[in-house]
Amino acid sequence: MAESRSTSSSSGDRNEINGGGEFSFGRSRSIGRNGLAKIQTQKQSTTSDEVCHDDSSAPVKAQTLDELHSLQKKKSAPTTPIRSSGSPHLFTISEEDRQKQQLQSISASLASLTRETGPKLVKGDPAKKSESNQKVTHHHHFNYAAPTIAVSDSSLKFTHVLYNLSPAELYEQAIKYEKGSFITSTGALATLSGAKTGRAPRDKRVVKDETTEDELWWGKGSPNIEMDEQTFLVNRERAVDYLNSLDKVFVNDQFLNWDPENRIKVRIVSARAYHSLFMHNMCIRPTPEELEDFGTPDFTIYNAGQFPCNRYTHYMTSSTSIDLNLARREMVILGTQYAGEMKKGLFGVMHYLMPQRQILSLHSGCNMGKDGDVALFFGLSGTGKTTLSTDHNRFLIGDDEHCWSENGVSNIEGGCYAKCIDLSREKEPDIWNAIKFGTVLENVVFDEHTREVDYSDKSVTENTRAAYPIEYIPNAKLPCVGPHPKNVILLACDAFGVLPPVSKLSLAQTMYHFISGYTALVAGTEEGVKEPRATFSACFGAAFIMLHPTKYATMLAEKMQDHGATGWLVNTGWSGGSYGAGSRIKLAYTRKIIDAIHSGALLKANYTKTEVFGLEIPTEIEGVPSDILDPINTWSDKKAYKDTLLHLGGLFKNNFEVFLNYKVGKDSNLTDEILAAGPLF
């Protein structure tokens, strides 16, 4: 034993037990049983309050995981004091009062019309219970004195408000709580709009009252389907009750119209993160300073699209109803989750509000050259409006909705809503590159593993869409405003093959073709039948206009006359025969025509006049074969050309009959002028 102890004490290679009773591995790495290193005890210096940590960095300032998570996010603070209305001096209100004013405004928006007060609101995600409860107690708990008759389960609960969340926050909400929400390989948020994958125009209604009865366009050809005030209030109550029954609602306060003198404040209350992110992208996003002074909105949308309307309610023909009340400045959505209803609903509102200010609202694309020359592009689906208005040599003001005021043109929206079917990097590089983090992708199909989108897949719908902020387009002009347009370009894809590739229009002709809104679609190829079908949409957007088309056309002609703009009709369709016999006009030729319009070269060209439509066509354009400029030259069968021309002229005449009952000008002289600008035979 003595020899053993001596050997052990003299060898630093062995493991020992010291007086401290603590174990450690010896320096010699001596091998014990089973090949494991022997354990050696060492005295270690410790203090009772030391926290175990990695010596390579300073310890975190947290004692629990919850505290650590709270350090991860810092609060966004207001940046601008609020001006006092009674004093020129600035003063700062507390964050608590600011939040209280904000919630009171939202509560007023969500108030039932049968009760004296709005719902009890608290800011924040209900999932964060500890944080939310603290806010309720100390900041946002309002004890409303509601009458006894109004007591219900909903009046005893709080509704959490998720207010103007950022895209990142909305991603988290969508991924966590909304089935069918995924992040694609490029970072976009893929969502589903439910059973409805497009707008429901037959379920859209407008309240007809003493004012709108005289102001709006009603009857044959009009998109406005009437409903009464009482029915609107029933649907509003249904939507508001549904939203108030939820644990949380999303609220967006944003703007429409980039012209600061004529912008509209809009509030969108919705139940889905998808809807909130969609409108975040499509409306103009306020700065923190603007949001602090937002106040009461000019218009409010109640999107309860997950909840159906009551089929027994008067005027209801399905479980879907999109209702506009222009007097109350409100819109109610029931029974459809398709986000485009909100975008186009607000466009309809602008078609009503802006003309009251002598501002023309337009369904058009708009771009501007480096010298400040602005062009408007009108055209229905398939005419090339998006392709031709997106020009890397020009700035994009907007792709869809605009206003023309005394200040010039301005985009109504803050984003783009692009079709995605068959999208490719080669055909539409700007749209392709815009589909990244923050973009909403509607109803697309993607690989379940890689999350790469297959834009050719129509399994859900052919109407796949991408909604993204306009600044995602590299040559977007910010702010999205420009001077008065020099050129107004009306695009038509004439599958009959009888309209010239380009023609210069008089003011009366511009009004006639603007009201007509013509293009032609190919019907199909069943059993070898290939026949084009004429499509007319007043003002190139009949589904969204509120007033009679002639009112918008008159405003357009007045502004063109006042500011020296020229009207053009550009055919991007067929030449040398109708669809099936002729061929489509080459895109390269159409681009040369558009370039000649922008440069002013076409104003200096020599012109001849066509039969029937009386269109002025140039005799030559640089880079375009002269023989295609007059369509009769490209048809081998001249009789077939004249027959087809007369057939199309007849379709124009039949379509225009619905507009003849509206008289414009002294003794209807302008109506006669417009009519005379159409086909004559």
Catalytic residues: 199, 344, 363, 381, 385-386, 400, 465
Overall size of the chain counted in residues: 681
Quick check: 341 and 301 in contact, CB under 8 A? no
Burial of 573 (0-12, 13-18, 19+ CB in 10 A): buried
Element at 387 (helix H, strand E):
helix 385-389
Task: State the residue for tokens 């049968």.
Answer: 114
Please say whether the beta carbons of 492 and 377 come within 8 A: no
The bridge status of strand 465-469 relative to strand 440-442 is antiparallel
CB 300 within 8 A of CB 294: no
Which 3 state secondary structure label does DSSP give 498?
coil
- Exposure string (b/e) for 395-432, b if CB count within 10 Å is 16 or more? bbbbbbbbbbbebbbbbbbbbbbbbbeebeeeebebbb
| 3 state DSSP class of 532 | strand
Asked if residues 573 and 585 have their Cβ atoms less than 8 Å apart, the reply is: yes
Token pair for 337? 């989750």
Q: Which residue has the tokens 């023909």?
A: 317
Three-state DSSP at 204 gives: strand
> What does DSSP say about strands 408-411 and 532-536: parallel, antiparallel, or unpaired?
unpaired
**Cβ neighbourhood burial of 437 (10 Å; 0-12, 13-18, 19+):** middle
Outline where 435-586 has alpha helix (H).
507-516, 549-563
Contact 12, 36 (CB under 8 A): no
The CA distance from 164 to 251, in Å, is: 6
- Which among 123, 118, 101, 125 is positioned nearest to 154, based on CA atoms? 118
Q: What's the rounded Cα separation, in Å, for the pair 46 and 42?
A: 12
Give the span between the Cα atoms of 483 and 473, in whole angstroms. 20
